[in-house]
Amino acid sequence: MTTIDLLGTFLKILIVVGISQGVVAYLILVERKIAAWAQDRIGPNRAGLELLDRPGFRRLAPLLRPLIGLGLLHPIADGVKMFVKEDVVPGYVNRPLYLLAPVLAITMATIAFAVVPFGPVGATGANFLGFGDVQFQIAPGIDIGILYVFAIGSLAVYGVILAGYSSNNKYSFLGAMRSSAQLISYELPLGLSILGIILICRSLDLNAIIHWQDRHVWGILVQPLGFLLFLISAFAETNRLPFDLPESEQELVGGFHTEYSALKFGMFFLGEYLHVITASFLITILFLGGWDIPFLTDQAQTGWFWALVKVFALLLKVGLLIILIMWVRWTLPRFRYDQLMDLAWKRMIPLALLNLVATATIVQLVRG
């Protein structure tokens, strides 16, 4: 590894982490706007309104008013609020674990992204100031990408469990217990459902899987059942409705993060949205062709133009998936606990095993 590689990595990390944290702030706004749209409300449109009365801002009013109306200043106000509100630590918590939990949650959410490609990798031809091809991935060349993402994804649950346990609050504790039950149920279909696509693409490397889909067809066409199982499990793994039982505001007052306030609460929130982003990237890469646009792109195309087209195609797919995830929240009600466990153990795991055996047989027949 040369100094240039190191500097490039620093730069990429700063850009990716910076952008993803900014994106999360605005995703919360998107989520609130979608919620408003689903419920026939207007949604956030106030933050910054009082600025218009300040003498210095009066001249900017025609410029600011449409931004305020769209709620575009809300994420900034939320961010500032996280920092300037009092950070209450209740008196009865287990302090070391209580402080460790949000740090763990956000660290795991961040490093899971290391092997996820956000554009073409390899001979991209997108030369950066003569230092070589830019790799659109933080840690390129790791050939067990999927295993790494799953390993880190399972560690993320420790943040939730430690938070629930250390809070010394019965609701939080229940939330943590539910979270671990959910993890042990949905980890299995999540892992089993992608074995079919691994088998077809012959690799655990996310780039190799994109390349296969680029040369042949998208994963969703050869693994429709696998896609469905993976999508459902991803909802459960990211604690999104209809599987948000660890939080369930109405019965557990927020579940594991009831006792967290101000910035520490914000860190859990950020971690959760980062998981949603990572999950959307994974679904796109495994089943929706990654950066591939059918009949238009292929791996041989190089240069900045094609690199940026591919990055844009990938981000567009990811964005649409995130909107789907938010949409589902307002479409499906929450599961009851036994239903959630039944769905995983009695439906999804047998289906995933069947899907694997069927795929293996068909692949062998087609080849032979």
Partner 1 sequence: MILSRYLFIGILLLFAVGFAIAPLILVRLVAPARRGSFKQQTYECGVVTTGETWVRFRIQYYLFALLFIVFDIETVFLYPWAASYLNLGWFALIEMVVFLALLAVGLAYAWARGALRWL
Question: What is the spatial distance between Cα 254 and Cα 275, in angstroms, rounded to a whole number?
Answer: 18
Question: What is the spatial distance between Cα 336 and Cα 265, in angstroms, rounded to a whole number?
Answer: 26
Least distance (Å) between residue 350 CB and partner 1: 7
The b/e string for 38-55 (b: 16+ C-beta within 10 A; e otherwise) is eeeeebbbebbeeeeeee
363 binds partner 1, rule: CB under 8 A? yes
Nearer to partner 1, 7 or 49 (CB): 7
28 binds partner 1, rule: CB under 8 A? no
Looking at residues 186 to 215 of the shown chain, list those that interact with partner 1 (rule: CB under 8 A): 187-188, 191-192, 195-196, 198-199, 202-204
90 binds partner 1, rule: CB under 8 A? yes
6 binds partner 1, rule: CB under 8 A? yes
Q: Contacting partner 1 (CB under 8 A), which of 41, 46, 65, 170?
A: 170
- 3 state SS of 249: helix
253 binds partner 1, rule: CB under 8 A? yes
Which residues, other chains included, contact 266 with Cβ-Cβ below 8 Å and sequence gap of 6+?
82
Binding mask 105-144 for partner 1 (x = CB under 8 A): -xx--xx-xxx----------------------xxxxx--
Question: What is the spatial distance between Cα 326 and Cα 36, in angstroms, rounded to a whole number?
Answer: 12
The answer to whether 62 touches 355, Cβ cutoff 8 Å, is no
Looking at residues 295 to 354 of the shown chain, list those that interact with partner 1 (rule: CB under 8 A): 337-338, 341-342, 345-346, 349-350, 353
293 binds partner 1, rule: CB under 8 A? no
Q: Contacting partner 1 (CB under 8 A), which of 4, 184, 316, 324?
A: 184
Least distance (Å) between residue 188 CB and partner 1: 5
Question: What is the spatial distance between Cα 103 and Cα 63, in angstroms, rounded to a whole number?
Answer: 39
Q: Contacting partner 1 (CB under 8 A), which of 85, 95, 216, 347?
A: 85
Least distance (Å) between residue 9 CB and partner 1: 5
CB under 8 A: which stretch of 82-90, 119-127, 219-227, 232-240 binds partner 1? Answer: 82-90
The answer to whether 149 touches 282, Cβ cutoff 8 Å, is yes
30 binds partner 1, rule: CB under 8 A? no
Which DSSP state fits 122? S
- 3 state SS of 5: helix
The b/e string for 213-237 (b: 16+ C-beta within 10 A; e otherwise) is bbeeebbbebbebbbbbbbbbbbbb
Question: What is the spatial distance between Cα 297 and Cα 220, in angstroms, rounded to a whole number?
Answer: 18
